[in-house]
Amino acid sequence: MSIESYLREAAAVRPSERQMMWYDTEFYAFIHFGVNTFTDREWGLGDEDPAIFNPVDLDCDQWVEAVKAAGAKGLVITAKHHDGFCLWPSKYTEHSVKNSPWKNGRGDVVREAAEACRKGGIKFGFYLSPWDRNCALYGTDEYNDYYKAQLTELLTEYGDVFMVWFDGACGEGPNGKKQVYDFKGYIDLVRKYQPNAVIFNDAGPDVRWIGNESGTARFAEWAVTPCELTKFAEVQTGPGPLKGDLSHMYNTLPDIGAMSNILYSKGLCFCGSEVDMSIRPGWFYHSVEEPHSLERLMRTYMTSVGGNACFHLNVPPMPNGRLDERDVVRLRELGDALKEAFGTNLAAGAQTVRHQEEGCTQGMYEISLDGQKEISYVMLKENIREKGQRVESFVIQAQDEYGRWVQIYAGTVIGHKRICKVNAKTGTLRILITAARAEAELLPIEVY
C-alpha cells in the first residue's frame, strides 16, 4: 500500500460516541482523598488504621461548587488508592469507611460525591487503584476477582458514571508479590454496566495518559495512535506500509501519532489523551503546599483543552473533608479568567467561505468579521466525529488595514479543539490548511 493511501486510512480513524462525549467534557476535576489525607503521605503503606479517617465536616457540595466555578464539567474521586482503603463500605473488605469513626461507620464518601455531582449538574466518575497494598490476595488470581467485585459495586450502586480511571501503577502487595492485572476483564465489566463511561488507562481503550504529571501537552497531539501503544483500543486500520513494530512505545515519548510512527505501526486506533495534574505539588492534601499560580493553570488549560486533549485537574480536600480556601479562590480565578477570555465569540453569525478543491488535501477558510476587531484567540475544531483527525499543519493570516495578509499564527494538529493565541486587529481572517492526511473539515470557527 502506498504511503498516501495509508494516510487516507489514518484520516478515517474515528472516535466512538463515548469518546466524543468525553472530548466535549473537556475539563473535569480529580479528587484525591483517603487515609493519606490524614497521614500527610502521597502513597499509603496499606497498614493504616481505618480509625484515622474522620472527615468531620465533609462537604461534597462545596467540592462541586468550587470545581464548577473553575469551569469543570465533571469530577473523578479516588474510591480506593494504592493503600487499599475504600471510601465506600465495600462488602469485600474491612479496610474501609465502615470501620472508621466517621458517621459511626455508616458513611459513604463515594455516595455523597456522586449525589453532589448529580445535584450540581456535573458528571461523576471514579478512580479505583488496581495496586492494593492492603489486600492479602494481591499477587494471586483471586485478587482480580476481588478487584472486579469492588468494581462491580461502584459501577452498579452509584448511578451514571462518565469515567473509570485505571491507574497503571503496579507495585508490591503486603506479601511482597506483584499482580498481573486482568485489564481486559475490568474493561468488560465497565462496558457491561456503564456502556457510556470512558475508560482511562495507559494503554486505552478510550483515553490514554499524556505521559507526564506537570500539565505539559505535546506540540502535536494526535488522537490517532499506533495499536502497539493503545493495545486495549479498537484497531481501525491494517498495518502501516513501512512494516515495523512499535511495541517499545510508551506514553512518555515525545511523538505518538506522528507520521514518522504511524507508517511503521501494526494498526491504528482512536485514543485521545488526558492531561492530569494537581493544583498543588502533591495529589493528596499537605497543609504546607500552595496552589499553583493562575498563569500556570491557564497555560495548562490552553495547551490541553486547546491542544486536542482534555484537562483533569486534581484538587485535594483537607482532613476535615472540605477544600482549602486557597484552592477555592484559585479555582474561581481560573473560571473568571476563562469566562473573560472566551466571553464573546466575535465570529458568531460571521460569514465563512471554504475554498477546497476536490481531491486536494490543502484548503482554506475565510471569515469576515463584523468590522475591524482586536482579537486574542482563534478557536479551531475539526469534524472528528464524522471525518477523523486530519490536519497536520495550518497557518492563520489576518488582513491588515492596508489589505495585506499577515501571518499571525502557525500550528500543527487541530483535532477536537485548537486554541490559537493571537494578537491582531482585523476584519478578515484566513485559515490555511497547509498539510492534511485527507481533505480536512473544520466546524464553525470561533474568534475571541
Smallest distance from the beta carbon of 276 to ligand FUL, in angstroms? Answer: 6
* Contact track, ligand FUL, 120-159, x by CB under 6 A: ----------------------------------------
Residues 153-182 binding ligand FUL (CB under 6 A) are 167, 169
Cβ 209 to ligand FUL, closest distance in Å? 9
Nearer to ligand FUL, 169 or 360 (CB): 169
| Closer residue to ligand FUL, CB minimum distance, 28 or 365 | 28
Rounded CA-CA distance 313/215 in Å is 9
CA-only gyration radius of the chain, Å: 23
In 3D, which of 414, 441, 185, 166 has the Cα closest to residue 308?
Answer: 414
- The count of chain residues that interact with ligand FUL, using the rule CB under 6 A, is 5
Return the number of the residue (14 or 286) whose C-beta is nearest ligand FUL: 286
- Binding residues for ligand FUL restricted to 315-344, rule: CB under 6 A: none
Is 311 near ligand FUL (CB under 6 A)? no
User: Grid coordinates standing for 212?
Assistant: 507526564
- Distance in Å, CB of 226 to ligand FUL, minimum: 23
- Smallest distance from ligand FUL to CB 413, Å: 25
Closest CB to ligand FUL among residues 276, 446: 276
CB of 78 to ligand FUL, least distance (A): 7
CA contacts within 13 A on the Cβ side of 34 = 29
Taking the complex as a whole, the smallest distance from the CB of residue 168 to ligand FUL amounts, in Å, to 7
Q: Which one of 143, 158, 166, 283 is in contact with ligand FUL (CB under 6 A)?
A: 283
**In Å, what is the CA distance from 371 to each residue of 18, 354, 397, 400, 402?**
40, 20, 16, 12, 14
- To the nearest whole angstrom, how small is the minimum distance from the Cβ of residue 283 to ligand FUL? 4
As measured in angstroms, the least distance from the Cβ of 83 to ligand FUL is 10
Minimum distance from residue 74 beta carbon to ligand FUL (Å): 15
- Within 198-257, the residues that bind ligand FUL by CB under 6 A are none
Element (H, E) at 30: strand 27-31
Peptide bond into 316 cis (omega under 30): no
Closer of 316 and 415 to ligand FUL (Cβ): 316
80: buried, middle or exposed (CB in 10 Å: 19+, 13-18, 0-12)? buried
Regarding 406 and contact with ligand FUL (CB under 6 A), the answer is no
State whether residue 93 is helix, strand or coil.
Answer: coil
Task: Tell me the C-alpha distance between 363 and 224, whole Å.
Answer: 21
Cα 291 to Cα 294: distance, rounded to the nearest angstrom? 9
If the CB atoms of residues 267 and 291 are measured against ligand FUL, the closer one turns out to be: 291
Tell me the three state secondary structure of residue 294: helix
Q: What is the four-CA torsion angle of 1, 392, 447, 382, rounded to 10 degrees?
A: 20
Q: Which of residues 42 and 172 has its CB atom nearest to ligand FUL in the complex?
A: 42
Q: Which parts of 350-379 interact with ligand FUL (CB under 6 A)? A: none
Using an 8 Å Cβ cutoff, are 266 and 246 in contact?
A: yes
192 to 78, 128, 195, 255, 289: CA distances (angstroms):
22, 17, 6, 33, 41
Q: Of the two residues 56 and 169, which places its CB atom closer to ligand FUL in the complex? A: 169
* Three-class secondary structure of residue 368 per DSSP: strand
CB nearest ligand FUL: which residue?
Answer: 169
Q: Counting contacts by CB under 6 A, is residue 276 touching ligand FUL?
A: yes
Looking at beta carbons only, is 205 or 316 nearer to ligand FUL?
316
The least CB distance from residue 170 to ligand FUL, in Å, is 10
Strands 224-226 and 268-270, bridge-based pairing: antiparallel
Phi-psi group of 306: left, alpha or beta (phi > 0 → left; psi -120 to 50 → alpha; rest → beta)? alpha
- 138 or 365, CB closer to ligand FUL? 138
Considering beta carbons, is residue 283 or 365 the nearer one to ligand FUL? 283
Q: How far is CA 124 from CA 58, 274, 301, in A?
A: 17, 16, 20
User: What is the C-alpha separation between 234 and 229, in angstroms, rounded?
Assistant: 12
| Interface residues toward ligand FUL, by CB under 6 A | 42, 167, 169, 276, 283
